[in-house]
Amino acid sequence: MTLSKIWLSSPHMGGNEINYIHTAFNENWVAPLGPNVNGFEQDLKQFIGNNKEVAALSSGTAAIHLALIQLGIGLGDEVICQSFTFSASANPIKYQGAQPVFVDSEKKTWNMCPKALKEAIEDRIKKGKKPKAIIVVHLYGMPAMMDDIMTVVKEYDIPVIEDAAEALGSTYKNRKCGTFSEYGILSFNGNKIITTSGGGALVCSSEEKKKKAVFYATQARDDSPHYQHSHVGYNYRLSNICAGIGRGQMEVLEDHIALRRKMHFFYKDLFASIEGIEVFEEPNDDFYSNHWLSTITMNPKLTSGITREDLRLAFEKENIESRPLWKPMHLQPIFENAPYYGEKVAEHLFEEGLCLPSGSNLGDEERERITNVVLEIFK
């Protein structure tokens, strides 16, 4: 008998999602607009706070793309982006014909290093081009050092896009990730802390910016009885069916955060007595992570030579998914020639780090299987 697969992060329905979908069918709102889209936006706005407006979109990637468009990023412009992230943070820079400039992480939060950021901005200006935007990521749900980053950014007056795709519900100094700058983005892909099967949102600092996002997301139709276009538009709005899933998921978001954090504390206990393994955690009380994924770093010098790949394969044998940390963007073939600033912190993390099963739908049985693999390999 093969054991059922334990995923890193799989969809976890609360139960009410289907009712919102039924209502949409009953009222024939089977379209990329309708009461669920409006309701989901309302729920997100309330959750996020800080007077933000939220535009529900077809993906987090679309949200980053629209933020870049609204900031006027175009051909030949330079955009700074955290190197240690998923490719979706950086790809939209390319969509606009712009040039990504990658910045390394610091060791405490694994997110953009304020010092490397400053160095990058100053060097790009010296080389003749001031970066036109900065994409900061709250990776694995861990808030970036926003105070230090915003201090650097204000000095040069460059707009920031916060990629909070993995950090819905995380806070820095009690403020929600995604609300520190002009634009924040969220993702509701199948593997995120809540899902709409596929979807995302742009968090905007004004009603006007939200309206503009919806305008671009719905083919940029001018105000006219016929189809009149003076801008290139996109088909990026969220479906009313998917938004129904989102409304049901919002009802269980706080539970999901609590359960993901429970997984983190489970790993803290599990690895407490194993030398050479560190469970990634908040540096201090200013940071509150939703712990979207629990992650560890392994130092083979201290684990009697057991590497993260040995552990990954041991999990795989028991049908348990684990995965190396994100491979930094400046090492990716698609971004081969992009400038990079930093001291290889992200490269080091990629070499030693592993993401562990973290879903809010994992129970005692799954935790026991995970425990057994770890005890066996480190016995």
Ligand X SMILES: *Cc1c(COP(=O)(O)O)cnc(C)c1O
Strands (E), 15-122: 53-57, 78-82, 99-103
Closer residue to ligand X, CB minimum distance, 20 or 86: 86
Residue 189 in contact with ligand X, rule: CB under 6 A: yes
Minimum Å gap between C-beta 140 and ligand X is: 9
Out of 21, 56, 165, 245, which residue is the one contacting ligand X (CB under 6 A)?
Answer: 165
Q: Which tokens in the block code for residue 43?
A: 């729920």
Residue 328 in contact with ligand X, rule: CB under 6 A: no
Residue 195 in contact with ligand X, rule: CB under 6 A: no
Give, as ranges, the residues between 72 and 91 that touch ligand X (CB under 6 A): 85-86, 88-89
- DSSP code of 235? B
Closer residue to ligand X, CB minimum distance, 96 or 303: 96
Give, as ranges, the residues between 117 and 156 that touch ligand X (CB under 6 A): 137
Reference 132, options 180, 74, 91, 87; nearest CA is: 74
Closer residue to ligand X, CB minimum distance, 104 or 270: 104
60 in Cβ contact with 193 (< 8 Å): no
Residue 111 in contact with ligand X, rule: CB under 6 A: no
Question: Could you give phi then psi for residue 156, rounded to 5 degrees?
Answer: -110, -5
Strands (E), 153-217: 160-163, 171-172, 175-176, 183-187, 200-204
Closer residue to ligand X, CB minimum distance, 17 or 162: 162
Minimum Å gap between C-beta 272 and ligand X is: 28
Minimum Å gap between C-beta 312 and ligand X is: 20
Out of 9, 36, 61, 83, which residue is the one contacting ligand X (CB under 6 A)?
Answer: 61
Closer residue to ligand X, CB minimum distance, 201 or 277: 201
Minimum Å gap between C-beta 41 and ligand X is: 16
Burial of 128 (0-12, 13-18, 19+ CB in 10 A): exposed
Region from 56-64, 215-223, 228-236, 238-246 binding ligand X, contact rule CB under 6 A: 56-64
Q: How far apart are CA 135 and CA 284, in angstroms?
A: 24
Q: What DSSP element (H or E) covers 279?
A: strand 277-279
What is the DSSP code string of 242-275? HHHHHHHHHTTHHHHHHHHHHHHHHHHHHHTTST
Closer residue to ligand X, CB minimum distance, 276 or 357: 357
Region from 31-39, 54-62, 245-253, 312-320 binding ligand X, contact rule CB under 6 A: 54-62
Q: How far apart are CA 343 and CA 19, in angstroms?
A: 51
Q: Which tokens in the block code for residue 375?
A: 């005890």
Region from 121-129, 158-166, 237-245, 277-285 binding ligand X, contact rule CB under 6 A: 158-166
Residue 162 in contact with ligand X, rule: CB under 6 A: no
Residue 282 in contact with ligand X, rule: CB under 6 A: no
Give, as ranges, the residues between 237 and 256 that touch ligand X (CB under 6 A): none
Sign of CA dihedral 225, 54, 186, 331: positive
Region from 58-66, 68-76, 121-129, 366-374 binding ligand X, contact rule CB under 6 A: 58-66
Report the SS3 class of residue 227.
coil
Task: For the sheet with 340-341, list strands across it.
Answer: 53-57, 200-204, 183-187, 160-163, 133-137, 78-82, 99-103, 340-341
Out of 11, 34, 39, 60, which residue is the one contacting ligand X (CB under 6 A)?
Answer: 60
Amino acid sitting at position 275: E
218 in Cβ contact with 71 (< 8 Å): no
Minimum Å gap between C-beta 59 and ligand X is: 3
Q: Kindly list the distances between the CA atom of residue 201 and the CA atoms of 111, 123, 266, 375, in Å, as whole numbers in the listed order.
A: 21, 33, 31, 41
What is the size of the binding site for ligand X (CB under 6 A)? 14
Provide the binding-site residues for ligand X, judged by CB under 6 A: 59-61, 85-86, 88-89, 137, 163, 165-166, 187, 189, 200
